[in-house]
Amino acid sequence: PGFNLAAGPGQPTEVLCLLNMVTPEELRDDEEYEEIVDDIREECNRHGAVRSVEIPRPLEGVDDVPGVGKVFVEFLSVSDCVKAQQALTGRKFANRIVVTSFYEPERYHRRDF
Amino acid sequence: LGGEKKKKRRSRWGGDEKEKTFIPGMPTVLPANLTKDQEEAYLVQFKIEEITRKLRTGDLGIPPNPEERSPSPEPIYGTDGKRLNTREYRMRRKLEEERHSMITKMISLNADFKPPVDYKPPMTRVSD
C-alpha cells in the first residue's frame, strides 16, 4: 500500500492510537459514547496504567473533526503502552479488528489528532 | 469497585485476551509516521479485507445470545414459504453494502485497486 508494512511499529511512545474501533454514528450517541470510553479505559488498564483517554467526537455542523474514528490512550510509561499494544492489537472490539500504532506524545498533548 | 451502581453490561471487547484475528498481508500494527492519506487508504483496504473475511467464513458477528441481538423486522416469506429476511441474510446484505462503499472509496483513492474476487457491484436499478 505504498509504505513498508514490515517496518514494524517504530519507536514506542507512551501514547497508543487505536484504529478501526469506533464509528462517528456510535460516538454521536451520549450513552454509547460513555460506554465506549468505559470499555476502552477498563481493558487498557488491565495491561498498563492509563493516564488519559481521548476519543474525538463528531460535532454538529462541522464536516471533518480531526481524529474522529480514532481512540488515543496515554499510559504512565512507554513500557505500559508497549504491553497494551501487544495485548490489544488484533483483538476484536464491536466485531472490528483493532489496529494500533504509537503516537507522538507531543502531538497528543497539542490535541493534534 | 462501583459494581453496585449499575448492572454489568457486556463489554464491546470480544473473546478473551488470547483471541486475535489476523488477516494475511494486513498487519494490525502500523508505523507511527504514516501520512494521513496513507493511513486512510490502509484502513479502507483493511475494512474491505475484514468484511471479505466475515463473508467468506460466515463469522458475521451475530451475537450468540438472542437477548443481545437487535429487534427483527416483520418476516418476509418467499413463494416456497421460507423466510427471506433472516438475520443472516440481513447481516450479509449490510456487510455487502458496506464493502461496496469501501471499494468505491478505494478505487477513488487508487485506480489500480483490484477488488476481492468474490465482489460483485450491486445491480443498478434502471428507473424509467
What domains appear along chain A, each with residue ranges and CATH number?
12-109 (3.30.70.330)
Residues of B in contact with A11 (CB under 8 A): 32
Q: What does the pLDDT read at residue B83? A: 92
* A1 to B45: CB separation less than 8 angstroms, yes or no: yes
Q: Whole-number mean pLDDT of chain B?
A: 88
B13: closest chain A residue by CA: A93
In this predicted structure, the answer to whether residue B126 has a pLDDT above a threshold of 90 is no
Instruction: Give the pLDDT confidence of B47-93 residue by residue, as tens digits.
Output: 999 999 999 999 898 888 888 888 899 999 999 999 999 999 999 99
Phi, psi of A86 (to 5 degrees): -60, -35
CA B117/CA B122 separation, integer angstroms: 14
Nearest to A70 by CA among A35, A100, A105: A100
> What number is the ipTM of this complex?
0.90
Looking at the complex, report in whole angstroms how far the Cα of residue B75 sits from the nearest Cα belonging to chain A: 26
Domain coordinates in residue numbering, chain B: 36-57+74-109
Per residue of chain A (113 residues), give pLDDT as tens: 556 766 678 899 999 999 999 999 999 999 999 999 999 999 999 999 999 999 999 998 887 899 999 999 999 999 999 999 999 999 999 999 999 999 999 999 999 99
User: What's the pLDDT at B66?
Assistant: 85
Closest-CA distance of chain B to residue A36, Å: 8
Chain A residues with a Cβ under 8 Å from any Cβ in chain B: 1-5, 7-11, 13, 17, 19-20, 35-36, 39, 42-43, 85, 87, 89-104
